[in-house]
Amino acid sequence: MALSDNQIIDEIRSGKKHYFTALVDRYKDRAFTLAVRMLRNREEAEEAAQDAFIRAYNALNGFEKKSRFGTWFYRILYNVCLTRVAKRKSLPLQQEYDDNIELNGVEFSDEPIEAIDFETQDLIAFVKKSIDTLPAKYQTILSLFYFQELSHEEIGEVTQLPIGTIKTHLFRARTLLQQRLQKELQMEKAV
């Protein structure tokens, strides 16, 4: 039977430091997804995720279990990513985006994916490009909601935004995506 996050944390605190790898394994894919969405660069996202895991490990004794570990950890990662974005403020936000990245087991690549039919490949590529064109605040909220599967309240803990703002960002992001998808479909029908 798999241990809960809190049980793993108890084991780590009792001196079994190697148990932290279970938390890393549990959260690494989602952490990478969030970091890529915020930083738009694979290498930098990997570094940010590693930095966040190190910070979480070092601060684990301060984790009070008032929220889920995942929420607490994503707050750390979110802050690491915000710091990195602020440091490169003078550079364009959409620099060096790696088109061949894997997010939660789904590869978004320009290369053909044999197991997925051509139309699905086109749809995945289009959705990816549509999300990439959204303002960063919408990309982040979408990632936290859909990829990390956090509730509105948990997103509020991570981003320090009010629930109303989170709901508004989600609504606006969905609306923008829907508009882009409808526009693309209309263009295809016209052809």
Separation CA 93–CA 159 (nearest Å): 19
- Alpha-carbon torsion 56, 61, 63, 65, what sign? positive
3-state secondary structure of 108: strand
Considering the domain architecture, whether residues 84 and 134 belong to the same structural domain is answered as no
In this structure, the answer to whether residues 53 and 3 fall within a common structural domain is yes
Taking the alpha carbons of 181, 185, 190, 191 in that order, is the dihedral positive or negative?
positive
How many whole angstroms separate alpha carbon 7 and alpha carbon 23?
Answer: 11
The verdict on pTM exceeding 0.95 is no
pLDDT digits (tens, 9 = 90+) for 14-70: 999 999 999 999 999 989 988 988 888 889 999 999 999 999 999 999 998 888 999
- Per-residue pLDDT tens over the stretch 64-120: 888 899 999 999 999 999 888 888 764 444 433 344 444 444 344 344 444 445 666
The 3-state DSSP class for residue 106 equals strand
- Does residue 114 share a domain with residue 63? no
- Give me the pLDDT at residue 69, please: 93
Question: Which candidate, 75, 71, 81, 80, places its Cα nearest to that of 5?
Answer: 71
Q: Which residues pair with 106 in a beta bridge?
A: 103
Say yes or no: 113 and 30 in one domain: no
The answer to whether position 178 is within a domain reads yes
Q: How far apart are CA 94 and CA 39, in angstroms?
A: 8
Name the domain count of the chain: 2
Within a domain: residue 97? no
User: Do 8 and 71 share a domain, yes or no?
Assistant: yes
Contacts of 39 (CB under 8 A, 6+ apart): 45, 48, 81, 84, 85
Radius of gyration in angstroms for the set of CA atoms belonging to the chain, rounded to a whole number:
18
A 10 A CB-CB count for 22 gives: 16
Q: Tell me, yes or no, whether 87 and 114 share the same domain.
A: no
User: Do 88 and 111 belong together in one domain?
Assistant: no
Range of the domain at 137: 102-191
SS3 12: helix
Longest dimension (CA), the chain: 65
